[in-house]
Structure 1
Amino acid sequence: RSIITIDGMHVFGACTDKMDPITSYVESNNLAAIDIKSGQEGNLHGATVAGSIDLKRRNTSFGLQKKIGGAYQTGFEFNNKQTFNLGNLYYSSDKFVADGSIAFRKAGNYYDGNDDEVRHSQYNKFNASLGLAYKTSPLSAVRVDAIFDRAKDVGFPALPMDLSLSRAIITSATYKQLFEEGLVKVWDTKVYFNAVEHYMDDTTRPENLVHMDMPGWSTTYGLLSKRDLQKDCYSSEIQVNAYDNLSIAEMRMYPQDRSKQTMFAYSWPWVTTRFASVAINNSLDLSDISRLVFGGSLGLNYNYSKYVEFNWIFHPGSPQKKNRILPSLHASYQLNIGQFDFSLGTGFGHRAPSVSEAYGYYIYNSFDRYDYIGNPNLKNEVSYEANASAGFKTGKLSIGAKANYFFIQDYIIGRILSLGSPMNYQSVGVKGYTSLDHATLFNLALNAQYQILPGLDWKAILTYARGQDNMGGNLPFIRPLSYQTSVHYQYKMIGVQTSMNGDFSQVNFSPEYGEDQTASYKIWNVSADYNFNIGKLNAAFQVGAENLFNEYYSTYADWGNIPRMGRNIFTSLKINF
Structure 2
Amino acid sequence: MRTLPKLIANLPLAMVMGAAVAEENTFNLNIPAQPLAAAIEAVSKQTGLQPFYADGALVGKQSPALKGSYSKREAVEKLLAQSGLDYTFTGDNTVAVKAPAAKSAQKAKTEEPVVLDTLTIKAQKANVDQPFGSYLDPSKIALARTATSDTAQMLNGTPGVSFSGGGGISSRPVIHGMADDRLRVQVDGMNLISACANHMNPALSYVAPSSVLSAQVLAGITPVSMGGDSIGGTIRVNSADPEFAEDGKAPLIKGQASTFYRTNGDARGGNISASIANEHAELKYTGSTVQARNYKAGGNFTTQNTKNGSDVVGSSAYKSENQSLSLALRNDDHLAVIKVGQQNIPYQAFPNVRMDMTGDDSWFANVFTKSQFQWGNLETRAYHEDARHKMNFLADKMTTPTRNMPMDTHGVNQGLSVKANIDMTDKHLLTVGSEYQRYRLDDWWDPAPGSMMMGPGTFWNINAGKRDRIDLFTEWEGRWTQQWLTQLGARVGVVEMSAGNVKDYKDSTVAQRAEATAVNGQNKKQTDVNIDWTALARYTFNDMQTYELGAARKTRSPNLYERFAWSRGAMAMFMNNWVGDGNGYVGDINLKPEVAHTVSATANWHDAKQEDWEAKVTPFYTHVENYIDARLCQPGNGVTCASPSSGFNLLQLANFDAHLFGVDVSGSKLLVDTAKYGSLTGKTVLNYVRGRNNDTGGNLYQQMPFNATVALEHKRGGWSNTIETQIASSKTDVQAVRLEPKTAGYALLNLRSSYTWKHLRIDGGIDNLLDKNYALPLGGTYIGERSVAGTAVPGMGRSFNVGMTINY
State the TM-score, normalizing by the size of structure 2.
0.67
Q: CA RMSD in A?
A: 2.3
| Distance apart, 1:268 and its partner CA | 2.4
* Contact 1:353–1:380 (CA under 8 A) maintained in structure 2: yes
**Distance (Å, rounded) in 1 between the aligned partners of 2:496 and 2:378:** 28
Bigger relative contact order (CA 8 A; separation at least 6) = 2
Counterpart of 2:627 (choices 408, 411, 435) is 411
| Distance apart, 1:219 and its partner CA | 0.2
**Distance (Å, rounded) in 2 between the aligned partners of 1:290 and 1:326:** 30
| Residues 1:564 and 2:795 are matched in the alignment | yes
Query: Residue deviations 1:424-468, cap 9 Å, x none?
Result: 9968443111011x1000121000011101111111000000100
**Distance (Å, rounded) in 2 between the aligned partners of 1:259 and 1:353:** 31
1:259-274 aligned within 5 A: 261-262=455-456, 264-274=458-468
* Contact 2:259–2:803 (CA under 8 A) maintained in structure 1: yes
Counterpart of 1:433 (choices 645, 653, 662) is 653
Query: Residue deviations 1:456-484, cap 9 Å, x none?
Result: 11110000001001143211110000000
In structure 2, the residue matched to 1:120 is 315
Alignment length (residue pairs): 568
| Residues 1:402 and 2:618 are matched in the alignment | yes
In structure 1, the residue matched to 2:776 is 555
Q: Which amino acid aligns with 2:258?
A: Q
In structure 1, the residue matched to 2:570 is none
Counterpart of 1:384 (choices 575, 597, 604) is 597
| Distance apart, 1:266 and its partner CA | 2.2
In structure 2, the residue matched to 1:212 is 405
Q: Which amino acid aligns with 1:444?
A: V
What is the SS of the residue equivalent to 1:515? coil
Counterpart of 1:527 (choices 729, 743, 752) is 752
Query: Residue deviations 1:267-319, cap 9 Å, x none?
Result: 22321111100122321012110111110100010011112678876768542
* Contact 2:382–2:417 (CA under 8 A) maintained in structure 1: yes
* Contact 1:372–1:430 (CA under 8 A) maintained in structure 2: yes
In structure 2, the residue matched to 1:576 is 807
Q: Which amino acid aligns with 2:530?
A: L
In structure 1, the residue matched to 2:93 is none
Counterpart of 1:546 (choices 744, 748, 767) is 767
**Distance (Å, rounded) in 2 between the aligned partners of 1:446 and 1:530:** 30
* Gap runs ≥5 in structure 2: 1-181, 301-310, 505-514, 567-572, 674-678, 782-791
Q: Which amino acid aligns with 1:322?
A: Q
More helix by share: 2
Query: Residue deviations 1:149-187, cap 9 Å, x none?
Result: 1111211122232211111111112232111x23xx111
In structure 1, the residue matched to 2:70 is none
**Distance (Å, rounded) in 2 between the aligned partners of 1:467 and 1:435:** 15
| Residues 1:321 and 2:525 are matched in the alignment | yes
**Distance (Å, rounded) in 2 between the aligned partners of 1:466 and 1:7:** 32
Counterpart of 1:188 (choices 367, 379, 398) is 379
* Gap runs ≥5 in structure 1: none
Q: Which amino acid aligns with 2:392?
A: D
CA 1:333–1:313: 2 relative to 1, 3 Å: farther
1:112-151 aligned within 5 A: 112-114=297-299, 116-135=311-330, 137-151=331-345
* Contact 2:244–2:252 (CA under 8 A) maintained in structure 1: no
What is the SS of the residue equivalent to 1:15? coil
**Distance (Å, rounded) in 1 between the aligned partners of 2:339 and 2:619:** 38
**Distance (Å, rounded) in 1 between the aligned partners of 2:297 and 2:217:** 32
In structure 2, the residue matched to 1:464 is 688
Q: Which amino acid aligns with 1:237?
A: T
Counterpart of 2:448 (choices 254, 258, 265) is 254
Larger radius of gyration between Structure 1 and Structure 2: 2
Percent identity (aligned): 19
* Contact 2:719–2:755 (CA under 8 A) maintained in structure 1: yes
| Residues 1:153 and 2:366 are matched in the alignment | no
**Distance (Å, rounded) in 1 between the aligned partners of 2:243 and 2:690:** 44
| Residues 1:78 and 2:78 are matched in the alignment | no
CA 1:381–1:313: 2 relative to 1, 3 Å: farther
* Contact 2:617–2:665 (CA under 8 A) maintained in structure 1: yes
* Contact 2:228–2:555 (CA under 8 A) maintained in structure 1: no
| Residues 1:355 and 2:550 are matched in the alignment | no
| Residues 1:510 and 2:721 are matched in the alignment | no
What is the SS of the residue equivalent to 1:232? coil
CA 1:47–1:333: 2 relative to 1, 3 Å: same
**Distance (Å, rounded) in 2 between the aligned partners of 1:257 and 1:325:** 45
**Distance (Å, rounded) in 1 between the aligned partners of 2:426 and 2:312:** 62
| Distance apart, 1:543 and its partner CA | 1.7
* Contact 2:443–2:462 (CA under 8 A) maintained in structure 1: yes
**Distance (Å, rounded) in 2 between the aligned partners of 1:2 and 1:543:** 33
Counterpart of 1:281 (choices 462, 472, 475) is 475
| Residues 1:446 and 2:665 are matched in the alignment | yes
More strand by share: 1
CA 1:313–1:398: 2 relative to 1, 3 Å: farther
In structure 1, the residue matched to 2:498 is 304
Query: Residue deviations 1:108-132, cap 9 Å, x none?
Result: 1111101722222111110111110
**Distance (Å, rounded) in 2 between the aligned partners of 1:149 and 1:260:** 30
CA 1:390–1:3: 2 relative to 1, 3 Å: same
CA 1:304–1:243: 2 relative to 1, 3 Å: same
CA 1:69–1:422: 2 relative to 1, 3 Å: farther
| Distance apart, 1:325 and its partner CA | 0.4
| Distance apart, 1:40 and its partner CA | 4.8
What is the SS of the residue equivalent to 1:14? coil
| Residues 1:224 and 2:426 are matched in the alignment | no
What is the SS of the residue equivalent to 2:405? strand
**Distance (Å, rounded) in 2 between the aligned partners of 1:495 and 1:253:** 55
**Distance (Å, rounded) in 2 between the aligned partners of 1:254 and 1:451:** 63
CA 1:390–1:202: 2 relative to 1, 3 Å: same
* Contact 1:371–1:427 (CA under 8 A) maintained in structure 2: no
Query: Residue deviations 1:213-257, cap 9 Å, x none?
Result: 221111012101111111210113322110111012123463765
Q: Which amino acid aligns with 1:101?
A: T
